[in-house]
Amino acid sequence: MNDDAPLPPSWRVTRAISHTPARSHTTTIHVGDRRLTDLARPGMRVTIAFTDATRACPDQHLVGGLLNELEACGIAPEHITLICATGLHRPSTPAERLAKLGPDIVARYRIVDHNALDPDALVDHGVIDGIPLVVNRQCVECDLLLATGVVEPHQYAGYSGGAKTVVIGCGGEATISATHGPVMLDHAGTRLGSIEGNPFQAFVRAGGERIGLRYVVNTILDETGEPLMIAAGPPIAVHDYLVAQARTIYETPVNHPVHVARAGVEGPKAVNLYQASRAATYLALAERTPLLPGAPILLPAPIPEGAGEGAGERRFFEALARAPSPHQLLEDLRRTGFPAGAQRAYILAQTLVRHPIIVVGAQHPDVVRACHMHAAPDMATGIALADRLAREAFSLAPDAPLEFLDVPHALLTMPRLTVP
């Protein structure tokens, strides 16, 4: 574990890590028979959708590569718009734009934030399988739409990337609400790591085709956030290619069930509870999770932004804070539905009815407690609490052994209990 707190001697440790291959190069692999030079022509108006600050995506490299190619094709900077795919998160700050894109890109190109709540900035593209497809006007009122993204495990899409940056990240509230509502999230196919039979992923792919997203650049990252692989080409072909590679990296077997776990989360996902809680839910709700029912989860996260500052994050907090219990919240949300953003409260409540969560080192412990979780000031306190909760849950004696699963990078690791 990445701290100085010793584990109790009775804890038997299994460490789950992604199988990161050696990085030999990060040159872009072209997938399919379509290159950007086949699509771009001088005078075209181009929109590039890139990920927001909640995604650890190296957009300075990915967007920069696209801009270099577009310039070589004769497209002037004034004909290019970069749109930050914020979904229902807060707008980007000047510092985040510089960190994401670098000073040269920020100085030379027009950059806008998506606003899912502004009807004048959105275009209705009809319905796909009962789900409204509403996207930012900048994405459809252009001659060529491009996107970046990172392919990593995702609670709903199975794996992120592909057309998701545009369809969801630049989607209107109607689209985000429908894809993140109880009908979608309760579907058996809407699962972490699942692509085939996943209705969320099917909508994203169909939506990208209808909007006219013809070319993406996506990457797989290692545990430090550096690119392992980069692929470019048609969205579905790129996504399929990188998902196949990602499975060999992120999915890891665990040979026995566990009584306690730690879900590590770092970087932009640790800045608020909305994002950090993903680590616990990824571990608890994944197919063939090694966690025994009732196993406490340690979640080290400073959450300097508290619950989060965007519209979605505020809805997440309000739903949890109003509810008398996670059980009641699930009943209420299944009966009434919920707005986009509150889906994270719904998913977190599904975890909390199975597992107590101990958020360690939170700068806003009151926010943690309001959301029906435990707050521990440091890891030693958190470990002591987890030990007590686990022994109570499993009726174990004080010196009986506990199986402990340490997942340092829970958003980039999918531990799966081996099936005899």
CATH assignment at residue 87: 3.40.50.11440
Co-location of 284 and 391 in the same domain: yes
Q: Are 35 and 127 in contact (CB under 8 A)?
A: no
Residue 49: per-residue pLDDT = 97
Tokens of 366: 């009151």
**198 and 315: one domain?**
no
**Same domain membership, residue 347 and residue 269:** yes
The range of the structural domain enclosing residue 183 comes to 31-250
| Low-confidence residues in the chain, pLDDT < 50 | 1-2
**Residue 353 included in any domain:** yes
The pLDDT value given to residue 29: 92
Which of 227, 250, 273 lies at the terminal end of a domain, its last residue? 250
The reported pLDDT for the residue numbered 23 is: 59
pLDDT value, residue 419? 72
Amino acid at 334: R
Residue 1 has a pLDDT of: 43
- Helix 59-72 with 94-101: angle, nearest 10 deg: 70
Domain count, the chain: 2
In this structure, the answer to whether residues 292 and 398 fall within a common structural domain is yes
The DSSP bridge pattern shows strands 122-128 and 131-136 to be antiparallel
Distances from the Cα of 415 to the Cα of 155, 206, 282, 283, angstroms: 14, 30, 10, 7
**Tokens describing residue 98:** 């510089």
The predicted pLDDT at position 390 comes to 98
Q: From 233, 22, 45, 265, select the one nearest 152 (Cα to Cα).
A: 265
Whether 139 is in a domain gets the answer: yes
Q: Is 10 helix (H, G, I), strand (E, B) or coil?
A: coil
Q: How far is CA 295 from the centre of its chain?
A: 23
Quick one: pLDDT at residue 46? 98
Q: Are residues 244 and 264 in the same domain?
A: no
Asked if 288 and 350 touch (Cβ cutoff 8 Å), the reply is no
Same domain, 323 and 188: no
The answer as to whether 24 is a domain residue is no
Only one residue has tokens 């070319």, namely 215
Q: Are residues 165 and 298 in the same domain?
A: no
User: Same structural domain for residues 186 and 101?
Assistant: yes
From the number of C-beta atoms within 10 Å of its C-beta (0-12, 13-18, 19+), residue 362 rates as buried
371 and 281 both lie in a single domain: yes
The letter for the amino acid at 414 is M
Do both 355 and 377 map to the same domain?
yes
- In this structure, the number of other CB atoms found within 10 A of the CB of residue 163 comes to 30
> Could you read off the pLDDT of 60-110 as tens digits, one per residue?
999 999 999 999 999 999 999 999 999 988 898 999 999 999 999 999 999
Among 222, 250, 278, where does a domain finish?
A: 250
